[in-house]
Amino acid sequence: MALSVPKAPGVSQMLKDGARMYSGLEEAVFRNISACKEFAQTMRSAYGPNGMNKMIINHIEKQFVTSDAGTIMRELDVEHPAAKLIVMASQMQDAEVGDGTNFVVVLAGALLESAEELLRLGITTAEISDGYEKALEKALEILPTLVSHKIEDYRNVEKVKEVLRTSIMSKQYGQEDFLNDLVSKACVSILPDEGTFNVDNIRICKILGSGLTKSEVVRGMVFKRFVEGDVTYAEKAKIVIFSCPVDIIQTETKGTVLIKSADELLSFSSGEESLLESQIKAIADAGVKVVVAGGKVGDMALHFLNKYGLMAVRLNSKFDLRRLSRSVNATVLPRITTPSQEELGYCDKVCIEELGDTTIVAFRNEGKDSRIATVVIRGATDNFMDDIERALDDAVNNFKCLTRDGRYLPGAGATEIELATQLSAYADTLPGLDQYAVRKFANALEVFPKALAENSGINGTEIVNQLYLAHNTEAGKTIGFDIDAEKASTIDTTKAKLFDLYQAKFWGLKYAVGAAATILKVDQIIMAKRAGGPKVRQPAGSDDES
């Protein structure tokens, strides 16, 4: 008979064997805070223009070398439940703004670190989270008063360049002016007269070889492919796009054809050929110069395309077909038919070009009707080009946000120190225990100028002291950390044109405080036994067989 070992009374009695439960300050709260602190510390060293790169090898052995927080978190595959909450807050920031993911992680980590000190002093988690929420409310009230720059006309390339520069600088310090020029021109060139700017309309094509300075903006689309036929150039071309293969049409149902003589066999095959030829001739007679297919182009079809001087391009991706149709203003046809004039697209030039040892097909539209722009990136390694792509992606998202809200705050840590100064003064007016949490919130904001300084090899405490001194005066609200100086020194961010997106700070503060408050309110961690997980070891003396 099997020996029955009774379970300890309490929650564990209700759960399956192998389930674990942690409760209380020491086991649950401090354990969560410790994990989040470690995670935030990792991301903090990647913050700012001089942030260190992380080398990550993901679960499929792919290597990434980057300082981009979004990529690091996506590839790390974080398992800890509390750290996962911070990652989720950061992903929400990415979805809402497209930039400032590291801001959320670093601030949430700093808030939890400050909360740990208060918890050890005996203040409860409820009072801390209430204090943080009060501080957030006050910070969001102060934020609009700190706006130092506003863009009204976002069709002006020079004005756009001023504000996108900081975003690119944080990822590609030293290359910001060249990349800023590319991305500003690309974004402004495809901005619609009505409706919103679509981030997907800026495409990026990475071609190995040469150097970054050989990168260019193409108004239209670029594909790393070769044409199917002999025709490699078309100008002022009408374009037809098929989502199906261009070949002899297969019947939808199976059938049997009885052929009794050689003449019947010849007439049957010539009938198929003449049908295909008549279809391609009708397409050519409609004025079409370029045929784009979503499937293979058959040998017989290719022969007739060459005969009628049509250029054939094959695109395997249905998404590329959709984008190209949007770019040239064509309708994607599901089967080979003669297109109407409304279904045809137009492109100024379709041609084959060689960049390094890569052949590309370029659909160039130089007119105002171009709806898509492609940034062709050149570089020596794939890793380098991937990092450039991330910097451009952040800049494009910044442009999308400025078309909605053109307000900008002082960068280089100026906004954070000004918020900290005003929140510290606000904390002195509060009567309850909340004041300690609000003061710690203000201290947590110091982490940003500190991180910028420490990642540049400068004493962070010295910089924070200098910034506080400058922000005590009315004229010093826009004073930030000078990253180019050899010693600890400050700079006027308005004169240096260092601006941070208002939307990024607004949502970043909200998401970081939301994540920190949620983690602080967790007092128990209950981990159920995973299905198919490792077997729980039987206690000594137990016997499965009776």
CATH of the domain at 504: 1.10.560.10
Sorting pLDDT into bands at 50, 70 and 90, what band is 546? Answer: very low
Residues 178-196: what's their mean pLDDT? 81
Q: What pLDDT shows up at residue 401?
A: 84
Give the 3-state secondary structure of residue 150.
Answer: strand
Phi, psi of 222 (to 5 degrees): -125, 135
Among candidate residues 307, 323, 311, the one with its CA nearest the CA of residue 352 = 311
Q: Number of folded domains in the chain? A: 2
- Whether 18 is in a domain gets the answer yes
Looking at the fold, whether 480 and 332 belong to one and the same domain comes out as no
Q: Are residues 332 and 253 in the same domain?
A: yes
pLDDT class of 357 with cuts at 50, 70, 90: confident
**Considering the domain boundaries, does residue 360 fall inside one?**
yes
DSSP state of 29: I
Asked whether residue 471 is domain-assigned, the answer is yes
pLDDT score of 454 more than 80: yes
Q: Which residues contact 511 (CB under 8 A, 6 or more apart)?
A: 89, 90, 92, 93, 104
Note the pLDDT of residue 16.
61
| Helix axis angle, 69-76 to 81-96, nearest 10° | 140
**Residue 46 carries which side chain, given as an amino acid letter?**
A
Q: What is the pLDDT of residue 37?
A: 84
Domain encompassing residue 509: 11-148+410-527
pLDDT at 101 over 60: yes
Task: Find the helix packing angle between 460-471 and 447-455, rounded to 10°.
Answer: 130
45-71 mean pLDDT: 82
Verify that 300 and 447 share a domain, yes or no: no
Q: How confident is the model at residue 269 (pLDDT cuts 50, 70, 90)?
A: low
367 and 233 together in one domain: yes
pTM above 0.85, yes or no: no
pLDDT at 476: 75
Note whether residue 64 is domain-resident.
yes
Q: Are residues 344 and 418 in the same domain?
A: no
How much is the average pLDDT of 471-484? 80
Instruction: State how far the Cα of 351 lies from the Cα of 411, in Å rounded to an integer.
Output: 44
Residues 469 and 421 in one domain: yes
Q: Are residues 422 and 485 in the same domain?
A: yes
Q: Quickly state the pLDDT bin for 525 (edges 50, 70, 90).
A: low
- Pairing label, strands 311-314, 288-293: parallel
- The Cα 106–Cα 108 span in angstroms is 6
pLDDT at 278 over 70: yes
Pairwise CA distance, residues 401 & 503, whole Å:
7
Decide: residue 329, CB within 10 A, 0-12 exposed, 13-18 middle, 19+ buried: middle
pLDDT tens readout for residues 286-318: 888 888 888 888 888 888 888 888 888 888 888
With a cut of 50, say whether residue 545 has pLDDT above it.
Answer: no
Is 390:209 a contact under the CB 8 Å cutoff?
no
Pairing of strands 216-223, 358-364: antiparallel
- Measured CA to CA, the distance from residue 54 to residue 489 in angstroms comes to 28
For residue 536, what pLDDT is reported? 46
Domain shared by 256 and 355, yes or no? yes
Please give the distance of CA 379 from its chain centroid, rounded to a whole number.
21
Q: Say if 180 falls within a structural domain.
A: no
Cβ 285 vs Cβ 279: under 8 Å: no
Q: What's the chain's average pLDDT?
A: 80
pLDDT of residue 321: 86
pLDDT given for residue 543 in this prediction: 46
Please give the torsion angle defined by the CA atoms of residues 19, 25, 31 and 36, in that order, rounded to the nearest 10 degrees: 130
Q: How far is CA 226 from CA 114, 230, 361, in A?
A: 58, 10, 6
Q: Say which CATH number the domain at 304 has.
A: 3.50.7.10
423: enclosing H helix or E strand: helix 414-427
Terminal-to-terminal C-alpha distance of the chain: 4
Tokens of 282: 């009708």
Residue 542 confidence class, pLDDT cut points 50, 70, 90: very low
For residue 248, pLDDT beyond 80? no
Confirm whether 512 is domain-assigned.
Answer: yes
Q: Same structural domain for residues 211 and 108?
A: no
- If asked whether residues 15 and 131 sit together in one domain, one would say yes
The band of 8, judged by pLDDT with boundaries at 50, 70 and 90, is low
Q: What is the mean pLDDT of residues 463-478?
A: 81
Q: How many CA atoms lie within 13 A of 419 on its CB side?
A: 32
Mean pLDDT value across residues 55-84: 81
pLDDT of residue 398: 85
Q: What is the pLDDT of residue 6?
A: 61
pLDDT surpasses 70 at 57: yes
Task: Answer yes or no: is 327 within a domain.
Answer: yes
Burial (CB < 10 A; 0-12, 13-18, 19+), residue 472, is exposed
The residue from 362, 380, 398 where one domain ends is 380
pLDDT in tens, 121-145: 888 888 888 888 888 888 888 888 8
- Are residues 456 and 368 located together in one domain of the fold? no
In a domain, 454, yes or no: yes
Residue 415 contacts residue 146 (beta carbons within 8 Å): yes
Whose CA is closest to 312, among 242, 370, 359?
Answer: 242
- pLDDT given for residue 10 in this prediction: 61
pLDDT given at position 369: 64
Alpha-helix residue ranges (DSSP H) falling in 121-216: 125-142, 157-169, 176-189
pLDDT > 50? residue 541: no
Residues 433 and 482 in one domain: yes
The pLDDT score that the predictor gives to residue 529 is 59
- pLDDT band of residue 524 (cuts 50, 70, 90) is low
CA dist 459 → 242, 452, 466, 481, 488 (Å) = 62, 10, 11, 12, 7
Average pLDDT rounded to a whole number, residues 347-370: 79
Average pLDDT over residues 166-191: 83
- CA R_g for the chain: 31
User: Quick check: 346 pLDDT over 80?
Assistant: yes
Instruction: Assess whether pLDDT exceeds 50 at residue 184.
Output: yes
Torsion of CA 496, 497, 502, 503, to 10 degrees: -120
